[in-house]
Chains A and B, each alone.
Chain A
């Protein structure tokens, strides 16, 4: 019995190590320099890589700002527009068919989808700029948001709205006083998820950005192809940090509140 218990504990420890090691190693690499085989530790630990981010003309910091701007814009638009559209779909007589159509762009590989749409983006002068990337990413994040919210518009919500209308309240009043308080935590979760969809995106961004818009994921790929592992690790750390904070926030406040 105790052997089984120990075996179980070992398995859990291994799992914890597997989940934590990547973050630790990436941070460790971001502070490293001159790491030659077979040394396990680098010859030098330095804050040079991080100071390059803040003080030199290197554009990792700029990429961080670009990524953040794109991800926040996509998350805001996708959540807002998805919330509005999901109500229309949820109470529509062709609900299932409309939802099926919404699933298609979301399920396709973003990079293949982007390649099929590239021609139209060129025609609209939306290639190689931030606006184009926001629009392209919206085509993935918006369907996600619609699917996410469709389950929210249940008969119960409709009955609440009808009750307000019966008692003389306006649609806007029902929305402000009934729908929004109930939907608040879902809206925040959807915002985080859309932010992450955009923040993690590489394939579609590389096609529509055309190498001119350097988000952090694009930067990581550039550093990897240049074999500059220390700057790649630094960019990776910057990519991981916001999701870790968001996921912690999500778990700590939203999941617990909804429980």
Chain B
């Protein structure tokens, strides 16, 4: 028995060491190494053309407003698509939760989840573009008389194409989240109680259903915002060359041929990483149930 216990302790500590090493190699170390490399490169400590510590790359980065505009633009795209997704999904959960808990809609809602971002971007380019399906339908219906009459819905000023593609990708997630919450939080029971106490339907929706759903989903909304702010494929295919989202800007600076842009690209990566990590720390601090995905 004593030998068994000793063996078990040895085994447990061995597994713990392996687990710690796995965590170190696949999660902690890449982050430290990647961030360290980006910081060093941006301050001129490493890199082919760098000659020692300098703040030049950082000051060059802020000579124009590209980075700030990119951050604001990425934030705006994330907020716009998230707001639409949350509002629509909430309405669906409140009015149609039964339809989505079983039957054909409970299967259909999974369809967009099978779409990689790049496929969704390609589809919306074919659907909303000047020579796309919508434009062809409008032509056949006599709404437009030539290809140029169709408004620019992709690579456009208002980023309509990007927002629609993001909405398509995120709506099912929020529908599943809210229909699930509607049941687990027993919102039906609360609204029935409120109605029996004399509340109107509108009152029970705005004072009970929406506040509960919003409160419970707030960490998910912020997490989704974090993911959406770094999105790359959809703005790459459906966005304009200016303004660019933060990922597209960083990739352009780091992957293109001008070697003098690389330190600035790493400076953008540093700002982005600090921003995301700070936001994540705030969310996880607020969210007490931080272990759920």
Contacts and interface: CB of A to CB of B under 8 A. Distances in A.
Nearest to A147: B293
A190 B33 CA distance: 27
A144 B292 CA distance: 11
Given A19-B109, A170-B8, A117 B33 contact: yes
A217 B118 contact: yes
B245 to A, nearest CB: 9
Contacts of B293: 144, 147-148
Given A101-B28, A139-B26, A20 B15 contact: no
A39 to B, nearest CB: 7
Interface in A4-62: 8, 12, 15-16, 18-23, 25-26, 29, 37-40
B19 A88 contact: yes
B60 interface: no
Contacts, number: 222
Nearest to B91: A11
Given A8-B95, A202-B117, A240-B115, A146 B27 contact: yes
B239 interface: no
A221 B118 contact: yes
Sorting the interface of chain A by its residue count into under 10, 10 to 19, 20 to 34 or 35 or more gives 35 or more
B161 to A, nearest CB: 14
Interface string A157-198: 000000001000011000000000000000000000000000
Contacts of B266: 116
Given A18-B168, A84-B19, A239-B116, A99 B291 contact: yes
Given A117-B34, A240-B114, A108 B273 contact: yes
Contacts of B26: 81, 138-139, 142-143
A65 interface: no
B168 A37 contact: no
Secondary structure at the A interface, as helix, strand, loop or mixed, is helix
B193 interface: no
Contact of A15 (B92, B247, B281): B92
A219 to B, nearest CB: 10
Contacts of B230: 108-112
Contacts of B139: 37-38
A132 to B, nearest CB: 13
Interface string B10-40: 0110011011101100111011011101100
A109 B117 CA distance: 13
A147 B291 CA distance: 6
Given A22-B123, A151-B291, A165-B8, 10 more contacts: A16-B104, A87-B15, A101-B28, A105-B27, A107-B276, A107-B280, A143-B26, A147-B293, A171-B12, A203-B232
Interface of A: 8, 12, 15-16, 18-23, 25-26, 29, 37-40, 81, 84-85, 87-89, 96, 98-105, 107-113, 115-117, 119-120, 138-139, 142-144, 146-148, 150-151, 165, 170-171, 199-200, 202-203, 207, 217, 220-221, 224, 229, 232-233, 236, 239-240, 243-244, 247-248, 251
Q: Report, nearest first, the 10 A-B pairs whose CB atoms are least far apart.
A: A109-B230, A88-B19, A116-B34, A243-B114, A200-B116, A38-B139, A151-B291, A142-B26, A203-B232, A236-B119
